[in-house]
Amino acid sequence: MAFLDDKLCTKINGHSLGADAQSGEPLRGDLQEFLGGEILLHQLDDLTKVNPVTLETVLRCLQARYSTDIFYTNAGCTLVALNPFKPVPQLYSPELMKEYHTAPQPQNLKPHIFAVGEQTYRNVKSLIEPVNQSIIVSGESGAGKTWTSRCLMRFYAVVASSPTSWENHNVAERIEQRILNSNPVMEAFGNACTLRNNNSSRFGKFIQLQLNRTQQMTGAAVQTYLLEKTRVACQAPQERNFHIFYQIYKGASADERLQWYLPDGAAFSWLPNPERTLEEDDFEATKEAMLHLGIDTPTQNNIFKVLAGLLHLGNTHFADSEDEALPCQLMDPAEYSVRTYASLLRLPEDALLETLRIRTIWAGRQQQVIRKPCSRAECATRRDCLAKLIYSRLFDWLVAVINSSICADSGTWATFIGLLDVYGFESFPDNSLEQLCINYANEKLQQHFVAHYLRAQQEEYAAEGLEWSFVNYQDNQSCLDLIEGSPISICSLINEECRLNRPSSAAQLQTRIEGALAGSPCLGQNKLSREPSFLVVHYAGPVCYHTAGLVEKNKDPVPPELTTLLQQSQDPLLKVLFPVTPQEKSQEEPSSQSRAPMLTVVSKFKASLEQLLQVLHRTTPHYIRCIKPNSQSQAHTFVRKEVLSQLEACGLVETIHISAAGFPIRVSHRNFVERYQLLRRLRFQVSPGTHSLAPAKGHSEVPPDANEATLQPLLQDILHTLPTLTQAATTGESAKATPAPVHCGRTKVFMTDSTLELLEGGRARVLEQCARCIQDSWRRHVHRKQERQRRAAVLIQAATRSWLTRKHIRRLHTAATIIKRAWQKWRIRMASLAFKELDGVEDKHLFQDADFLSSNPLPPVQTRLLGAIIRLWPLGLVLANSATGVRGFQRKLVVWACLQLPSGRPSSDTLLTAQHDQAGVTSIRALPQGSIKFHCRKSPLRHADICPEPPPYSVTGFNQILLERHRLIQV
């Protein structure tokens, strides 16, 4: 690779690598060892991890990451952003926005502007003082500040608009769309193509993204600083005017060209380099964005018509008059331009020419009006002043329209996130008042960074009593004193020249500045310059400013007749831009006795800059340093010399030194004790090879009104646990643990990231132990509760079953009683019917059975059983025919009882004929006489004709029993 050149090991761009700037010790061996692992440089996400930290090593790390298309790198509290000079869509996709927004710890992801944006958004949500956040995007022109601000706005529009209803969703979408559409409009009217950047911001802007109490974006506000309005009438070689003029010239339709008098191929003096085609020349995108901001199509046409008129005004050229008493004459093509300009802006042509060529002077106490023809140079100046006045008013009106469209009411938002996008440090061959103001603003922002991080951090270490060797950093306070100091400075001398009622001389102004400020170390002389100038050594390098025209630009004079002329216009837009007020009417006749002090450009810019810094001081700042790899805007090109000068200018190495060697984590004593007092619960049991932590008893909580004397013992107890925590966290090491790098100041505890991780790990272990204790107690409680519920359920079930059993038995007892009573009634009735039918035969048969039994006695048990069966034969008859009747031997006994037959052996269940026995009953009514055949008559008894036994028994009814005489033969 190119950056492995051995020559760089000894010298890069005049910077020797032989010794460190701080220690003076040779670093060649260390650098060779470091460069041996240079293949891993692109994996270093933080420049504080580079060892040793020098400009050269930081440069190599950035170059290695840039060659692998990694454009963002952390540098302590600052994010370094390299401009890729090529589209990288996947680097700013919505999916990547969501990834950084939903990450538990975005700082653990790769460095990105979305990580900075998410950190600011979470700081607003956590309400850590100061709640309001600001992101300061700095860098040279062309480093990518505008693109960075645009991506951050898109990120906030996505993550800070999470509505909960469709109504809020529509409002959020409208706000998001308008905030995003404000960018193309402001870039079209405020950006231009310069030598260093095709889309250079020619104004500074501070965008305030307004959030409500639920951290949803409800609106935004834009504040602008120092528009470079001189670019409308004067462009440097190889540079262009504002983008909007080229958009109109290239994107207008045929009808619009006829309406605005812009024929194809027309040449305009204020439209240089029209052949260059840039992606910013998108006229349709600008019109669509203006439409979303509430600027309707007729108003847009009116705006573009006025801008087309300014192009025609630029073609108005004057010729010297032969007679000084007569006004300058117009050149031949200029007459058409004046006529077209007057038609487009609806101005009277005669009044326009008179205002441009004749100056009105009020002289004497009587305020005598003197009309004096202007010279050719004065006519051109008044023409340019008229164009700058219209364009600046139009730009301010657009900003006001954007704010009215996107700004929320003061009661609907509570916090804000500010995005500061200012012009970068500039140094051109010809530098005037604009570059002086731009570089002055960059000096103030650099001082804000120095005061916030570098100096404040080291002074805090000293105030807290820490042993700290101060890092030498570049303090630009002397340069600020030269520019804005009191009582004498460059700004005060320029303003004084403006207040003096005399013609200003460039050489005289140079002499005054060099004489009054000769003792300043930041003021120098450019001996090679042929024109009067002075040299200012800024933090980013020396810049030579020409004094010619400096005072006139600072005055920014606007002849009152120009304003009066524009107030006579019938154009609706110009009537809004130049309203006629009673105050202006009273100022038409100025009075020398009541002349107000002159408000110069420097004074107004200084006041607005001070107001901006006051806002920044009340916020938590975040810094993004944009670096331009090359001045040709070419991709995959890394020019070491240019990048190295930018690293030196922004004080990046000093930042890395302090971040790496200092203590980036600082916590007040109370907050430290409140968060880490859990570590006092631990009882450390350290044995060889094992480390266990167990909770201890008897700890005390921090009282809410505890003072420093009360917090000190608790603080020391916590700090004493750090060595054991270090030993417990380091497994497999028998060496004695070294104390963690932490220092206790007077009011704060200072520590490194490793110490913070150690404390958080111990705190997590304590919380885990407490969680386990809580889980064990809860599970034991739940188990006991379930056991009690189970025993109670068993008792309830037993009682319920007992009650149901008793209830069932009572029902059975009641049913049995009812059946018994019904049976007794039925038995009496059946007995009565049987007695009537048998007419005593049963008694005779019973007597015969009795004789038979007496002659053949049975065992007592069978006798009792037979008697019971004889008495209960009807019940047996019923049960024998029921579905749940008895079976087997018991059934046979029941059948025998129903037939009222004497019992024999179980196998003797057949009926024999009457020939083996004595004569028996042969008739119901009378004894049979000989062989008589009886006819069967149905018995009145219910179920009497139903056989109690299924076949093979031949007895099929109770009537057959009565028709034949038979006896039971015992076998």
Angle between helices 55-67 and 652-661 in degrees, nearest 10: 100
Enter the tokens of residue 716: 């020391």
The 10 Å CB-count burial string (b at 16+, else e) for 429-455 is: eebbbbbbbbbbbbbbbbbbbbebbbb
Residue given tokens 């806002």 in the structure block: 615
Q: What is the model's pLDDT at position 755? A: 80
pLDDT 10s digits, 640-695: 988 988 887 777 777 777 777 777 777 778 878 888 888 877 654 444 444 444 44
More confident residue, 469 or 558: 558
More confident residue, 239 or 871: 239
Query: Residue ranges for the binding site for ATP?
Result: 139-146
Distance CA 180, CA 899 (A): 113
User: Exposure of 210 by Cβ count < 10 A (0-12 exposed, 13-18 middle, 19+ buried)?
Assistant: buried
Give the DSSP per-residue string, 415-444: EEEEEEE-PPP---SSB-HHHHHHHHHHHH
Query: Residue ranges for the binding site?
Result: 139-146
User: Percentage of the chain surpassing pLDDT 70?
Assistant: 73
Q: Which residues contact 44 (CB under 8 A, 6 or more apart)?
A: 50, 61, 65, 73
Mean pLDDT check: name the lowest of 21-35, 310-324, 481-495, 511-525.
21-35
pTM for the full predicted model: 0.66
Mean pLDDT, rounded, for 360-367: 72
Mean pLDDT, rounded, for 213-238: 88
- Whether 952 has a pLDDT exceeding 70, the answer reads no
Distance CA 493, CA 545 (A): 14
Distance CA 719, CA 942 (A): 107
User: Percentage of the chain surpassing pLDDT 90?
Assistant: 32
Enter the tokens of residue 168: 């809020």
pLDDT 10s digits, 5-33: 333 333 323 333 333 333 333 333 443 44
- When pLDDT is cut at 50, 70 and 90, the band that residue 963 belongs to is very low
- When pLDDT is cut at 50, 70 and 90, the band that residue 584 belongs to is low
Beta strands in 396-525 (DSSP E): 415-421, 523-524
Q: What is the model's pLDDT at position 794? A: 95
Tally of helices (H runs) and strands (E runs) in the chain: 34, 23
